[in-house]
């Protein structure tokens, strides 16, 4: 069937998106605000089970010539991450762009300037990143949100489940203000096992951007020093724990301390089904992408992570 | 300054420089050794810390129990957690029920571990 709309430039744009779709989707999957602080696992389609090793006391004994092996000293605890397929769709109507103020930039005999389309799809990816970030933290499968947040149980929900099951003991901080932010952040950090405080695996304290800023200012006032002299990172004063803001926690007093490996963010490869599809229809360009993503708190137990009472 | 004096000066300067160089070299070696030692220790600690974990999910029998809502000064208080940590101390719901002062403190700070029923 002949297409009523001349699509020469649009076709070249389609080729452009398809050529770069892997890179664009990789940016969307890896580039959101908090992705760099989570442990990334790729190649997860559906479910994948990890084993957490746990020591059950000493294995070293005083010497004697009698051999007596002791059982149950090492325990393997299975933890399963589950990924879910999501989707994002967007229509672009080139004739509408042409009819708008942007039409003035269109060259003679051209339906639409491809640069606009590239700009639009870049912004689409930026929005996709923001949405994935929100889903990873605030997703609640049974929360009744009637939107994408119903897709999977995010970090907040998994914390709530662990707390309700008494696997994780909250630190009662209440809401956080400028006058008590130092003491309250520190009280959550204190609940972590020492082994995580001295490990070279990065340790992060997650909170809202507002509380992160309150903390930095409070430390400056209290000590006349910045939390970190080079000001690149905001550190929990006197520790190796970096403070990270979570966009999905805006307006809350939630605090979580966790080492990098404790939270896994998993997805399928940034290829194949995750390509950005651009399909030219009669009058529209249909864009679609189907990222498959999941998140798991691997060790939601006392000492392995620490949370306050705002979840 | 005559030639002999000049030569003496040069010799002293050279000797001073040599001493400086030696000091710097020694200082550098000491720093390198210390750095290597600290790096080694850190790696050991990291390996130790990453591997040996003694914390895991609690057994059902180890878990504290939730308690029924109760009345304090005409208000029905519901404790939502079986145990929590407050001011560095682990507190069970039973212990909180018996500590009116702590209940007031927790309500004042907006703690999520308890709530007044109906509010």
**Cβ separation of B112 and A166 shorter than 8 Å?**
no
What's the Cα-to-Cα distance from A130 to each of A27, A32, A35, A174, A233, rounded to whole Å? Answer: 11, 6, 11, 28, 21
Task: Yes or no: say if A163 and B83 are a contact pair by the CB < 8 Å rule.
Answer: no
**Cβ separation of B48 and A195 shorter than 8 Å?**
yes
Measuring CA to CA, which residue among A260, A250, A215 is closest to residue A38?
Answer: A260
What's the Cα-to-Cα distance from A61 to each of A68, B38, B115, rounded to whole Å? Answer: 10, 30, 50
Task: Yes or no: say if B24 and B32 are a contact pair by the CB < 8 Å rule.
Answer: no
What's the Cα-to-Cα distance from A131 to each of A83, A88, A253, B23, rounded to whole Å? Answer: 16, 10, 21, 59
Which of A167, A196, A310 is the closest to B58 by Cβ?
Answer: A167
Distance CA A201, CA B43 (A): 10
Largest separation between any pair of C-alpha atoms in chain B: 104
Nearest CA in chain A to B109: A174
Question: What is the token pair recorded at B33?
Answer: 């050794």
A14: left (phi over 0), alpha (psi -120 to 50) or beta: alpha
CB under 8 Å to B99, separation ≥6 — which residues? Answer: B91
Distance CA B32, CA B23 (A): 14
**Cβ separation of B46 and A201 shorter than 8 Å?**
yes
**pLDDT tens sequence for chain A (311 residues):** 455 555 556 677 778 777 777 778 878 888 888 998 999 888 888 999 988 888 888 889 999 999 988 888 888 899 999 999 999 999 988 888 888 898 888 877 777 777 788 888 889 989 999 999 999 999 999 888 889 999 999 999 999 999 999 999 999 999 999 999 999 999 999 999 988 898 778 999 999 999 999 999 999 888 876 666 556 789 999 899 999 999 999 999 999 999 998 999 998 876 655 578 888 888 888 999 888 999 999 999 999 999 999 99
**pLDDT tens sequence for chain B (119 residues):** 566 666 666 565 566 666 667 667 777 777 777 766 666 555 544 444 455 777 788 888 888 889 999 998 888 999 999 999 999 999 999 999 999 999 999 999 999 999 999 87
Which of A54, A171, A199 is the closest to B54 by Cβ?
Answer: A54
pTM: 0.81
Nearest CA in chain B to A175: B110
**Cβ separation of B83 and A301 shorter than 8 Å?**
no
């Amino acid at each position: 069937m002949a297409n009523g709309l001349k699509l020469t430039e649009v076709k070249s744009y389609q080729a452009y998106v398809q050529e770069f779709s892997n890179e664009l989707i990789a940016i969307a999957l890896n580039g959101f605000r908090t992705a760099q602080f989570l442990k990334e696992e790729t190649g997860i389609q559906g479910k994948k089970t990890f084993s957490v090793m746990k020591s059950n006391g000493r294995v070293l004994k005083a010497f004697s010539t009698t051999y007596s092996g002791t059982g149950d000293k090492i325990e393997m605890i299975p933890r399963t991450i589950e990924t879910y397929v999501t989707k994002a769709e967007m229509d672009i109507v080139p004739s509408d762009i042409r009819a708008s103020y942007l039409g003035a930039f269109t060259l003679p005999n051209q339906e639409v300037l491809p640069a606009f389309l590239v700009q639009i799809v870049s912004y689409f990816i930026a929005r996709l990143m923001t949405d994935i970030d929100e889903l990873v933290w605030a997703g609640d499968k049974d929360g009744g949100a009637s939107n994408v947040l119903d897709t999977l149980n995010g970090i907040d929900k998994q914390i709530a489940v662990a707390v309700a099951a008494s696997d994780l003991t909250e630190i009662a901080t209440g809401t956080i203000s400028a006058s008590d932010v130092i003491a309250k952040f520190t009280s959550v950090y204190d609940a972590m096992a020492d082994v995580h405080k001295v490990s070279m695996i990065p340790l992060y304290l997650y909170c809202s951007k507002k509380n992160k800023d309150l903390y930095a200012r409070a430390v400056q006032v209290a000590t006349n020093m910045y939390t970190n002299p080079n000001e690149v990172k905001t550190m929990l004063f006197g520790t190796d724990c970096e403070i990270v803001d979570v966009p999905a926690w805006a307006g809350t007093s939630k605090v979580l301390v966790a080492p990098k490996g404790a939270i896994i963010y998993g997805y399928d490869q940034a290829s194949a089904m995750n390509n950005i599809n651009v399909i030219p229809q009669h009058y529209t360009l249909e864009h679609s992408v189907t990222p498959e993503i999941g998140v798991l708190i691997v060790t939601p137990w006392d000492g392995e992570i620490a949370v306050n009472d705002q979840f | 300054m005559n030639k002999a004096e000049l030569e003496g000066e040069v010799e002293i300067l050279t000797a001073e420089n040599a001493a400086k160089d030696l000091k710097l070299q020694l200082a550098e070696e000491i720093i390198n050794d210390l750095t290597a030692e600290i790096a080694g220790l850190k790696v050991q600690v990291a390996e130790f810390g990453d591997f040996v974990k003694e914390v895991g999910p609690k057994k059902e029998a180890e878990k504290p129990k939730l308690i029924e809502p109760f009345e304090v000064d005409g208000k029905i208080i519901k404790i939502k957690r079986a145990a929590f940590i407050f001011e560095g101390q682990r507190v069970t719901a039973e212990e909180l029920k018996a500590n009116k002062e702590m209940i007031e403190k927790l309500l004042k700070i907006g703690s999520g571990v308890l709530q007044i029923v109906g509010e």
